[in-house]
Amino acid sequence: MKIVVASGKGGTGKSTFSANFAWSISRGRDVVLVDCDVEEPNLHLFFSAGKSESGVTMPIPVFDTGKCDFCGKCGEFCRYGAIAVLPEKIMFFDDLCHSCGGCRIICPKEAISETERVIGKVWDAPVDEHLRLITGVLDEGEPNGIPVIKAAKEAAEGNDLVIYDASPGTACPVIETIEGSDYVVLVTESTPFGLHDLRLAAEVVRKLCIPAGVVINRSDGEDDETEAFCREAGLDIHMKIPFDREIARLQSRGDLFSVAMPEWQERFFELFEDICIRTGGAP
Amino acid sequence: MKMCITAKGDTPDAQVEERFGRAPFFIFHESEQDTYTAETNVFADAAGGVGPRSAQVLIDHGATVLITGQLGGNARRALEGAGIEVYQAVTGSTVREAVTAYRENRLNRIL
pTM of the shown model: 0.81
User: Looking at the structure, do residues A90 and A37 belong to the same domain, yes or no?
Assistant: no
Please, what's the b/e burial string for B48-64 (b: 16 or more CB within 10 A of its CB; e: otherwise)? bbbbbbbbbbbbeeebe
Chain A CB contacts of B82 below 8 Å: 84, 86
Query: Distance between CA A265 and CA A244 in Å, rounded?
Result: 16
Sheet holding B65-68, edge to edge: B35-40, B25-30, B2-7, B65-68, B85-88, B108-109
Mean pLDDT computed over B41-56: 93
Q: Which residues of A touch B50 (CB under 8 A)?
A: 81
Q: In whole angstroms, give the CA distance from residue A122 to residue A147.
A: 11
Point out the residue among A82, A84, A95 whose CB comes nearest to the CB of B59: A84
Number of domains present in the structure of chain B = 1
Domain count across chain A: 2
| pLDDT bucket at A190, cuts 50 / 70 / 90 | confident
Q: How many CA atoms lie within 13 A of A96 on its CB side?
A: 23
Could you tell me the pLDDT band of residue A49, with boundaries at 50, 70 and 90?
confident
Same structural domain, A132 and A262: yes
Q: How far apart are CA A161 and CA A212, in angstroms?
A: 17
Residues A52, A70, single domain; the answer is no
What is the spatial distance between Cα B95 and Cα B56, in angstroms, rounded to a whole number?
Answer: 21
Query: Has residue A4 got a pLDDT over 70?
Result: yes
Q: Is the pLDDT of residue A147 over 80?
A: yes
Report yes or no: B55 at the A interface, CB cutoff 8 Å: yes
CB contact under 8 A, B59 and A81: no
pLDDT at residue A282 greater than cutoff 80? no
Domain range for residue B91?
Answer: 2-109
Contact A86 B53 (CB under 8 A): no
Q: Is B53 on the interface with A (CB under 8 A)?
A: yes
Phi, psi for A235 (deg, rounded to 5): -110, 125
Q: In this predicted structure, what is the pLDDT of residue A29?
A: 93
Size of interface A-B (CB pairs under 8 A): 50
3-state secondary structure string, A193-240? HHHHHHHHHHHHHHHCCCCEEEEEEEECCCCHHHHHHHHHHCCEEEEE
Distance from CA of A165 to the nearest CA of B (A): 27
Whether residue A29 is found in the same domain as residue A89: no
Q: What CATH number did the domain enclosing A89 receive?
A: 3.30.70.20
Read off the CATH number of the domain in which B16 is found.
3.30.420.130
Residue numbers of the domain that contains A194: 2-56+119-279
Q: Do residue A96 and residue B81 have CB atoms under 8 angstroms apart?
A: no
- Which member of B53, B59, B81 has the closest CB to residue A81? B53
Rounded to the nearest integer, the mean pLDDT of chain A is: 95
How are the residues of chain B apportioned to helix, strand and coil, as percentages rounded to the nearest 5? 25, 30, 45
B56 and A80 within 8 Å at the Cβ level: the answer is no
pLDDT, tens digit, 9 for 90 and up, residues A75-124: 999 999 999 999 899 999 998 999 999 999 999 999 999 999 999 999 99
Give the Cα-Cα-Cα angle A41, A43, A47 (nearest 5 degrees).
140
- A11 within 8 A of A168, measured Cβ to Cβ: yes
CB contact under 8 A, B52 and A72: no
Least Cα distance to A49 among A128, A164, A163 occurs for: A128
Contact yes or no for B66/B59 (Cβ under 8 A): no
Contacts of A96 in chain B (CB under 8 A): 48-49, 52, 74
Q: Are residues A81 and A170 in the same domain?
A: no
Q: What is the CATH number of the domain that holds A7?
A: 3.40.50.300
pLDDT at A22 over 60: yes
Question: What is the three-class DSSP state of A24?
Answer: helix
Burial class (CB in 10 A: 0-12, 13-18, 19+), B95: buried
Q: Which chain A residues are within 8 Å of B60, Cβ to Cβ?
A: 72
Nearest to B56 among A79, A85, A95 (CB): A85
Which residues of chain A does B77 touch, with a Cβ-Cβ cutoff of 8 Å? 91, 93
Residue of A78, A79, A86 lying closest to B81 (CB–CB): A86
Q: State how far the Cα of A72 lies from the Cα of A90, in Å rounded to an integer.
A: 9
> CA of B23 to nearest chain A CA: how many angstroms apart?
16
Distance from CA of B103 to the nearest CA of A (A): 27
User: Angle at Cα A204 formed by Cα A202 and Cα A206, nearest 5°?
Assistant: 70
DSSP of A26-86: HTTS-EEEEE--TTS--GGGG-----EEEEEEEEEEEE-TTT-----HHHHH-TT--EEEE
pLDDT above 90 coverage of chain B, percent? 96
Cβ A200 vs Cβ A170: under 8 Å: yes
Whether the pLDDT of residue A165 is over 90: the answer is: yes
- A225 shares a domain with A204: yes
| Same domain for A246 and A194 | yes
CA–CA separation, A183 and A89 (whole Å)? 50
What pLDDT digit, counting tens, does each position of A223-254 carry?
999 999 999 999 999 999 999 999 999 999 99
What pLDDT does A283 receive? 56
Give the tens place of pLDDT for each residue, B68-109.
999 999 999 999 999 999 999 999 999 999 999 999 999 999
Identity of the residue in A72, A87, A91 whose CB atom sits nearest the CB atom of B77: A91
Separation CA A163–CA B97 (nearest Å): 61
Which of B49, B74, B82 is closest, CB to CB, to A86?
B82
Cα atoms found within 13 Å of the Cα of residue A78, Cβ hemisphere only: 32
Distance separating alpha carbons of residues B90 and B67, to the nearest angstrom: 10
Interchain proximity B82–A79, CB inside 8 Å: no
Say whether both A18 and A52 belong to one domain. yes
Here the ipTM equals 0.88
The whole-number pLDDT of residue A143 equals 87
